[in-house]
Amino acid sequence: MIHIVIDSVAYLSKEYVEEHNLTVVPLSYIFEGESTKEPLPGEFDAFYERLQKSNEFPTTSQPSVGNFYLVFDELTKNPEDEVICITLSSGISGTYNSALLAKKESAEDRIYVIDSTLAAAMEARLIEIAVQLRDEGKPAKEIVEAIYDEIPQLSMNLLVDNLEYLKRGGRISGSVAAVGGFLGIKPIITFVEGKLEMKDKVRGMKKAIEKSIADIPKDATWVRVHHILARDLAEEIAQEIRTQFPEADVALWELGPVIGCHVGPGTVGIAYNGVK
């Protein structure tokens, strides 16, 4: 049997996780001295309400090596069982390294640890591919190869509504945040070699959205519109994408606390596949 282990930052629903027998090793956030494991979608609102009212900046924490070891050890007790573990990018979290170290202490030859170099819905897409191929009876090595083939096809534009969160996290300077806020500058952030980098700066959310939609490859078949407490705007974006890409699978994707505490409420993002 092939077991699939994931972290919480894929933001897959509880129903999907249970239906497909996935094992989630959650990240945590530390807020006002309290450490909390990141919940699954549908349970984010309380965190964001608290975040909006607080002057404190939350921090995040990856799962420990021990967390992964306990999971790997349990899932490999049967000598015929294998594990495929898919994590968010090592460029923004130590989660992959924790899983890799745990693998070395466990049944190393039957555990595959994959650095997605991505996060959120893009990470979820890799997991969905793994689930589909596992359920089709494909061997673990073939599943892993398919995941690595898919990674270069995925990209995302993340549009931040409030620059204060990026400033608090040290992603941009206070002066840039002040000028950007005054001028209505919206940074467009993307993954570059596993790290979040500023791709562009556009004046106004409307123009930032238009540019991000224009970046979607013409052959895209899969698009996910991320959001943090911005469902109405995300749905508007999704509807426009459905109009321009009628053959594509388009859906909304809610971002949780581990990503949200760095970018804040009002953030939206467009993830897609296709040749860039």
- For residue 170, the model assigns a pLDDT of 55
Q: What is the domain-level CATH number for residue 22?
A: 3.40.50.10170
Question: Same domain, yes or no, for 135 and 18?
Answer: yes
Identify the weakest region by mean pLDDT among 53-57, 113-117, 148-152: 53-57
What is the torsional sign of CA 238, 241, 246, 247? negative
93 and 164, same domain (yes or no): no
- Is residue 10 pLDDT above 60, yes or no? yes
Span 205-231, average pLDDT: 96
> Hey, CA dihedral for 119, 125, 131, 136, is it positive or negative?
negative
d(CA 140, CA 175): 50
In this prediction, residues 125-144 reach a mean pLDDT of: 98
Cα–Cα distance, 15 to 40 (Å, whole number): 10
How many domains, the chain?
A: 2
> Residues 258, 197: one domain?
yes
Statement to judge: residues 141 and 13 lie in one domain? yes
3-state SS, residue 78? coil
Residue bearing tokens 């027998």 = 21
3-state secondary structure of 15: helix
Per-residue pLDDT at 169: 57
Query: CA of 75: how far to CAs of 19, 35, 93, 133, 156, in Å?
Result: 18, 27, 24, 19, 33
Q: Evaluate if residue 184 carries a pLDDT over 80.
A: no
Tokens found for residue 7:
């972290």
Residues 11/41, Cβ–Cβ less than 8 Å: yes
Better-scored residue on pLDDT, 55 or 172: 55
Tell me: do 190 and 239 sit in the same domain. Answer: yes
Whichever domain contains 173, its CATH number is 3.30.1180.10
> Which domain covers residue 220, as residue numbers?
154-273
C-alpha distances (whole Å) from 123 to each of 89, 120, 153 are: 9, 5, 12
264 and 207 in a common domain: yes
Q: Where are the beta strands (DSSP E) in 160-248?
A: 185-192, 195-203, 222-227
143 and 71 inside one domain: yes
pLDDT at 30 > cutoff 70: yes
C-alpha span between 2 and 112 (Å, rounded): 10
pLDDT exceeding 70 applies to what percent of the chain? Answer: 92
Residues 11 and 145 placed together within one structural domain of the fold: yes
Place 21 in a pLDDT band, splitting at 50, 70 and 90: very high
Are residues 135 and 165 located together in one domain of the fold? no
Are 58 and 190 in a shared domain? no
Residue 174, pLDDT above cutoff 70:
no
Q: Which of 122, 152, 182 is the last residue of a domain?
A: 152
**Whether residues 231 and 253 fall in one domain:** yes
Residues 137 and 174 in one domain: no
The mean of the pLDDT values for the chain is 91
Tokens of 248: 């594509």
Phi/psi-derived region of residue 166, left when phi > 0, alpha when psi is between -120 and 50, beta in every other case: alpha
What is the identity of the amino acid at 156? Answer: M
Q: How many residues does the chain have?
A: 276
Calculate mean pLDDT across residues 162-167: 68
Could you tell me whether strands 82-87 and 2-7 are parallel, antiparallel, or unpaired per DSSP bridges? parallel
| Average pLDDT rounded to a whole number, residues 111-139 | 98
Give the integer Cα–Cα distance in Å for 23 and 18.
9
Q: Is the pTM of this model over 0.85?
A: yes
Last residue in a domain, options 117, 152, 187: 152
Tell which of 101, 130, 152 closes a domain. 152
